[in-house]
Amino acid sequence: MLIEQCKIIRNEEIAGGIWEMEFSAPGIVSYYTGPGQFLEILLDNKWSFTVRRPMSIANVEEKRITIIYKIFGRGTTLLTESKVGGILDILGPLGNVFSGWQGNYVPILVGGGVGLAPILNLFRECQKHQIHSKLIIGAKTGREHFMDHDPSNGIFLTTDDGTLGNPGTVMPSLKKVCADIDNPMVFACGPLPMLKGMQDFVIQNKIPAQLSVESYMGCGTGLCQGCAIKRRNVKEKAHSYHERYSLVCMDGPVYSASEVSFD
Ligand SMILES: Cc1cc2nc3c(=O)[nH]c(=O)nc-3n(C[C@H](O)[C@H](O)[C@H](O)COP(=O)(O)OP(=O)(O)OC[C@H]3O[C@@H](n4cnc5c(N)ncnc54)[C@H](O)[C@@H]3O)c2cc1C
């Protein structure tokens, strides 16, 4: 992990409110270990932006990194104004990686909202290794999608308002895809309600799954403790903070579905 001054190569809107940025980051790339890892981006040196913004790595190509981000608040709005040739102060790579996708399972990759970045990264990695995965990407509306709904090639888009792909959340599509496959393993990233629904489904159906958690996060290095999440099935000890909670930045963001609680 290091802090690097990264030169912006590309920063463009690829769908409604969804942006893709590519920058040069040879130092960070040299420590990169795979899909799941993320960065902490400093947006401005002013007091109003003291906390870096976490962003998943969506692709690594030679010495360049791509992120895909959704306009959410002031920080991500400011990011859209970053110009090609400009410099961003970036800390990374941080966090752990998805694992087990090269095993005997059929990887079912599910991304919802801003959670699509690490999932697309894993999808590309599966393609590079000629592993046939299924991809399910959910959004509120068709404007937020930038891929084609292509079920014959295992790519399923969903929209809450039914304007593109399968109507509804990612859950009905996930259930259908899992029912059609002998040995599924689910890899997912998205908003907490989506991860909670997914966790209930995979545990009930005994499907192995890894969930990447995008909790609120400050420093990204374990100092601020802002990204704590509850662990499941721990033998609670009144004095033991570490047994009951996990820091997403240090232990995650990728967890086995049976490991964490979203309640
Ligand atoms: C590990 C990880 C990976 C992420 N990857 C991506 C990604 O690839 N693409 C993407 O669009 N977004 C991603 N996010 C969410 C993204 O970090 C937030 O949307 C962003 O920080 C919002 O900043 P803002 O200034 O626009 O919003 P504001 O609401 O102004 O932010 C205020 C503060 O709240 C925190 N915050 C607000 N919303 C979130 C959230 N949903 N998750 C975590 N912190 C939040 C921010 O850190 C910030 O400090 C990721 C979050 C985490 C934890």
Say if ligand 1 is within 6 A of residue 74 CB.
yes
Domain positions in the chain: 2-94
Q: In testing the pocket of ligand 1, which one of 122, 214, 255 has its CB within 8 Å of the most ligand atoms?
A: 214
Q: Is 85 in the pocket of ligand 1 (CB under 6 A)?
A: no
CA dihedral 43, 74, 19, 10 (to 10 degrees): -30
- 61 confidence band (pLDDT: 50, 70, 90): very high
180-230 pLDDT tens trace: 999 999 999 999 999 999 999 999 999 999 999 988 899 999 999 999 999
Ligand 1: nearest atom to the Cα of 76 = 26
pLDDT-derived band of residue 246, with 50, 70 and 90 as boundaries? very high
Predicted TM-score (pTM) of the model is 0.94
Q: Which fold has domain 2-94?
A: Elongation Factor Tu (Ef-tu); domain 3 (2.40.30)
| Rounded Cα distance, 124 and 130, in Å | 10
> What is the C-alpha radius of gyration for the chain, rounded to an integer number of angstroms?
18
For the segment 121-153, what is each residue's pLDDT rounded down to a tens digit?
A: 999 999 999 999 999 999 999 999 999 999 999
Token output for 77: 């709005």
The C-alpha atoms of residue 132 and residue 154 are separated, in whole angstroms, by: 9
> Ligand 1: distance of its center to the CA of 151 in Å?
31
- Distance from residue 53's CA to the centre of ligand 1 (Å): 6
Q: Is 188 in the pocket of ligand 1 (CB under 6 A)?
A: no
Q: 62 to each of 25, 30, 65, 90, 239, how far by Cα in Å? A: 9, 10, 8, 18, 47
